Amino acid sequence: MILKVVFKKMNSFKDRLNQAINKSGMSKAELARRSGIGRNSITDYVKGKYEAKQDKAYQLAKALNVDPAWLLGYNVPSNKNEKLIDLYNKLTKERQDRVINYATDQLNQQENNVVSLPDSQLRENDAPTTEIELFGYVSAGTGEWLDEGAKKERIMYYGHAPEYDYALKVNGDSMQPLFENGQIIFVRNASECMHNGQIIIATLNGSAFVKKIDISEDGVHLVSLNPKYEPIAVHDYDDFAVRGIVVL
């Protein structure tokens, strides 16, 4: 499934700003100090006299610890905690129990300084084996053509395979240290609006990438985790679509 990047505006900037200020317990004077925006301007925003421009909204969002797109009135979670709760509530009871068990195990490991070995360091006879269908390659570098008509390859995967719609093999090192060259990644179809900061599979002018998506006042960028690679800007005239969200 292909998802065009479209955000639907649901609430006014004034309503969201008042909501964020009330939740933070911050005074207008303190918000002015943290955001670098004049107190009189903030008062005008709160009263709905006029809306902040994107750069000012970004400063306010940072000071209030909320998502800039949410503050501007779009239908996205206000912050990461809300996103986690929203995702959890959408799960079935069985899947909610799995999340709690996994999170509890991770907390226990953290508190006891347990370091988990990645699947690549497990011996094959110690790891569960799953046969998966590999869709093809996706570039972690400069872009690679994603041929939907290509013949799929069935391979044995050593390790725990999450729930996914298709699997790809990473080509390149631009997403290190999260993904290594040749690593298999699992992808869910983009059936709903993705969120800022997610790792996605996207096509840009015919080439397929695995990147972190960054949406800010400067526009949309496909960002590599390896600092030696520059972000790729997405323009209005580009043929751009989100093809899936990587399961982490």
The span from the CA of 208 to the CA of 198, in Å, is: 16
Digit-by-digit pLDDT tens for the chain (248 residues) are 444 444 444 458 889 999 999 988 999 999 999 999 999 999 999 998 988 887 888 899 889 988 887 888 776 767 666 667 777 788 888 888 887 877 777 777 676 654 444 444 444 455 567 788 887 777 765 555 555 555 677 888 877 788 888 888 898 888 888 888 888 999 988 755 667 888 999 988 888 899 999 988 888 999 998 888 899 999 989 999 888 899 87
Q: Is the pTM of this model over 0.85?
A: no
| Residues whose CB falls within 8 Å of the CB of residue 82, separated by 6 or more in sequence, listed in order | none
pLDDT of residue 216: 85
Q: 159 is written with which tokens?
A: 């390790």
| Under 8 Å between Cβ of 156 and 123 | no
**pLDDT of amino acid 120:** 47
Task: Give residue 117's pLDDT.
Answer: 43
CB-based contacts of 40, cutoff 8 Å, min separation 6: none
Residue 221: its pLDDT value, please? 92
Q: How many helices (H) and strands (E) does the chain have?
A: 7, 10
pLDDT at 146: 55
For the CA atoms of 126, 130, 135, 139, the dihedral, rounded to the nearest 10 degrees, stands at -20
Residue indicated by tokens 């972190």: 212
